[in-house]
């Protein structure tokens, strides 16, 4: 890993952590500080990384600063029954150009992925999701991106890459490794009908805010994600004021924490980011507190992973085959370990797509199939593979 990209955490964070009880989270995290230097990453499972880049945040000038407050609030919390070592790598500073920052993010995340370390990115503008996505190029596999956002952030193809246009760059620019995009919590009035129709044509998934108020729907979506990107603006303004694009409607604080926990317990999620925090607008550090607690719940989820994704053997799974009229059967698998469900696509021969042969689902999808109704996520995955 190129440590030249990374600066130590704010000295005030280190000083505040020293004053905390011995059993608080800050005393267990390996901190990149001026006092102790860069931490040893041997055995580390999760790495926290701040990215001080907000120059392409649309209507949210000032984001990309004030991460010290988030860290102070996070490190004052007490860990759960956790066993996985955590490191804080410090911050990626602004490059001379925004593209320089993207490069530093991509290189750093790539290094972490190669070491099987899950990065938690604290942004900065959400276009950093693009830099995170490009880190997966070296893995030579298709990936799934889940955005928790009130907007799709598609933009126009000829727009400059920014926080409102990064998705079109991910979809169109080569190498194109995106298999599926899912949006959780979009609000219709923030998105053009043409964009909603485009996502349907691409067989991507979009769930309105009202739909995912039933948080059980979020779990199988997150179980299929590789990259998770949360825009603070998806949280209602009264809960998280530190975003200039925040709306009266959105997720409640406890709901976004539950969403983060679902992301954490997913065996497939290998990077997690929360973006668009604007310290200048943060009343009484309310949003910093919520972001800290959201990160806490993600880490809690990672520590509770069941590791029951059926990559190869299916011996510890119950198999249910549902015959459909004029079609091949759909095979469903239920984990004996966790009770979670998957559905299988049998047509995959290209190794590039093998990891998408099993699609996380809910019991309701199995019930729908027994009623001769093809589950939407199975149908959309099939269309992308055939």
What are the residue boundaries of the structural domains of the chain, listed by start?
A: 3-303, 317-385
**Cβ atoms of residues 345 and 359 within 8 Å:** yes
Q: What is the pLDDT of residue 356?
A: 74
Q: What percent of the chain has pLDDT over 70?
A: 96
Region 123-136: mean pLDDT is 97
pLDDT-derived band at 149, boundaries 50, 70, 90: very high
The rounded mean pLDDT for the chain is 94
pLDDT-derived band at 250, boundaries 50, 70, 90: very high
Q: What is the pLDDT of residue 312?
A: 53
pLDDT-derived band at 384, boundaries 50, 70, 90: confident
Question: What span, in angstroms and rounded, lies between the C-alpha atoms of 360 and 350?
Answer: 20
Instruction: Kindly report, residue by residue over 19-52, the tens digit of the pLDDT.
Output: 999 999 999 999 999 999 999 999 999 999 999 9
Checking if the pLDDT of 355 tops 90, the result is no
Instruction: Show the CA angle centred on residue 245, arms to residues 241 and 246, nearest 5°.
Output: 40
Residue 97: both structure tokens together: 């150009």
Phi, psi of 183 (to 5 degrees): -110, 130
Q: What is the pLDDT of residue 310?
A: 64
Q: What is the pLDDT of residue 141?
A: 85
Checking if the pLDDT of 351 tops 90, the result is no
Checking if the pLDDT of 120 tops 90, the result is yes
Checking if the pLDDT of 326 tops 80, the result is no
Spatial CB neighbours of 141, under 8 Å, sequence gap ≥ 6:
177, 352, 355
313 or 86: which leads in pLDDT: 86
Q: If 0-12 CB within 10 Å is exposed, 13-18 middle and 19+ buried, where does residue 359 land?
A: buried
327 or 172: which leads in pLDDT: 172
Instruction: Kindly report, residue by residue over 159-170, the tens digit of the pLDDT.
Output: 999 999 999 999
Q: Which CATH class is domain 3-303?
A: alpha beta
Checking if the pLDDT of 348 tops 60, the result is no
Pairing of strands 6-7, 86-92: antiparallel
* Long-range contacts (CB closer than 8 Å, 24 or more residues apart) made by 159-162: 160/56, 161/56, 161/127, 161/130, 162/56, 162/57, 162/58, 162/125, 162/127
Q: Tell which residue, 260, 231, 256, has the closest CA to residue 246.
A: 231
Instruction: Show the CA angle centred on residue 250, arms to residues 220 and 161, nearest 5°.
Output: 80
Checking if the pLDDT of 349 tops 60, the result is no
Q: What is the pLDDT of residue 236?
A: 98
Checking if the pLDDT of 241 tops 70, the result is yes
Q: What is the pLDDT of residue 357?
A: 82
Instruction: Kindly report, residue by residue over 272-286, the tens digit of the pLDDT.
Output: 999 999 999 999 999
Checking if the pLDDT of 206 tops 70, the result is yes
| Local structure of residue 141 (DSSP, 8 states) | S
Q: What is the pLDDT of residue 278?
A: 98
Q: How many CA atoms lie within 13 A of 154 on its CB side?
A: 21
Checking if the pLDDT of 296 tops 90, the result is yes
Spatial CB neighbours of 256, under 8 Å, sequence gap ≥ 6:
148, 230, 234, 235, 290, 294
Question: What span, in angstroms and rounded, lies between the C-alpha atoms of 335 and 313?
Answer: 12
Q: What is the pLDDT of residue 113?
A: 97
Q: What is the pLDDT of residue 316?
A: 78
Region 309-323: mean pLDDT is 77
Buried b (16+ CB within 10 A) or exposed e, 125-140: bbbbbbbbbbbbeeee
Question: What span, in angstroms and rounded, lies between the C-alpha atoms of 307 and 265?
Answer: 9
Question: What span, in angstroms and rounded, lies between the C-alpha atoms of 353 and 244?
Answer: 39
Q: What is the pLDDT of residue 225?
A: 97
Region 188-196: mean pLDDT is 96
Residue 295: both structure tokens together: 């990160």
What DSSP line would sit under 185-235, residue for residue?
EE-GGGS-HHHHHHHHHTT-EEEETTGGGSGGGHHHHHHT-SEEEEEGGGB
Question: What span, in angstroms and rounded, lies between the C-alpha atoms of 341 and 220?
Answer: 8
**Cβ atoms of residues 258 and 215 within 8 Å:** yes
Q: What is the pLDDT of residue 350?
A: 59
**Cβ atoms of residues 257 and 298 within 8 Å:** no
Cross-strand pairs, 206: 183
Region 125-130: mean pLDDT is 98
User: What pTM does this model have?
Assistant: 0.95
Q: Tell which residue, 360, 352, 348, 355, has the closest CA to residue 385.
A: 348
30 prior amide bond cis, ω within 30 = no
Q: What is the pLDDT of residue 293?
A: 98
Beta strands in the chain, from DSSP E residues, in sequence order: 6-7, 30-31, 46-51, 86-92, 118-123, 143-148, 178-186, 205-208, 227-231, 271-275, 317-322, 330-335, 341-344, 358-361
Q: What is the pLDDT of residue 140?
A: 84
């Amino acid at each position: 890993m190129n440590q030249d990209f990374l600066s130590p955490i704010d000295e005030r964070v280190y000083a505040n952590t020293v004053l905390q009880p011995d059993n608080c989270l800050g005393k267990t995290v390996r901190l990149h500080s001026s006092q102790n230097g860069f931490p040893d990453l041997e055995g580390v499972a999760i790495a926290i990384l701040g990215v001080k880049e907000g120059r392409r945040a649309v209507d949210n000038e000032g984001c990309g600063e004030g991460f010290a407050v988030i860290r102070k609030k996070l490190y004052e919390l007490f860990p759960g029954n956790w066993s996985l070592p955590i490191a804080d790598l410090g911050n990626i500073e602004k490059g001379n150009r925004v593209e320089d920052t993207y490069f530093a993010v991509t290189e750093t995340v790539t290094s972490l992925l190669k070491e099987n370390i899950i990065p938690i990115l604290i942004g900065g503008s959400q276009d950093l999701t693009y830099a995170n996505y490009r880190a997966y190029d070296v893995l030579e596999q298709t990936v799934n991106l889940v955005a928790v956002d009130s907007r799709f952030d598609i933009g126009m193809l000829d727009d400059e890459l920014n926080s409102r246009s990064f998705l079109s760059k991910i979809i169109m620019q080569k190498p194109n490794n995106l298999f599926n995009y899912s949006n959780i919590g979009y609000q219709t009035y923030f998105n053009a009908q043409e964009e909603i129709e485009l996502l349907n044509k691409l067989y991507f998934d979009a769930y309105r805010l009202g739909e995912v108020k039933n948080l059980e729907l979020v779990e199988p979506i997150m179980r299929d994600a590789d990259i998770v990107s949360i825009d603070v603006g998806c949280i209602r303004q009264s809960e998280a004021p530190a975003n200039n694009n925040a709306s009266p409607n959105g997720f409640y604080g406890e709901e976004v924490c539950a969403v983060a926990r679902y992301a954490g317990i997913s065996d497939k999620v290998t990077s997690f980011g929360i973006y668009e925090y604007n310290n200048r607008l943060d009343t009484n550090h309310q949003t910093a507190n919520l972001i800290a607690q959201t990160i806490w719940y993600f880490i809690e989820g990672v520590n509770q992973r069941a590791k029951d994704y059926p990559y190869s053997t299916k011996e510890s799974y119950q198999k249910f085959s549902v015959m459909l009229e004029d079609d091949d059967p759909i095979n469903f698998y239920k984990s004996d370990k966790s009770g979670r469900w998957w559905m299988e696509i049998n047509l995959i021969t290209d190794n590039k797509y093998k990891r998408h042969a099993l699609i996380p689902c809910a019991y309701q999808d199995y019930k729908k199939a027994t009623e001769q109704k093809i589950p939407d996520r199975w149908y959309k995955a099939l269309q992308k593979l055939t």
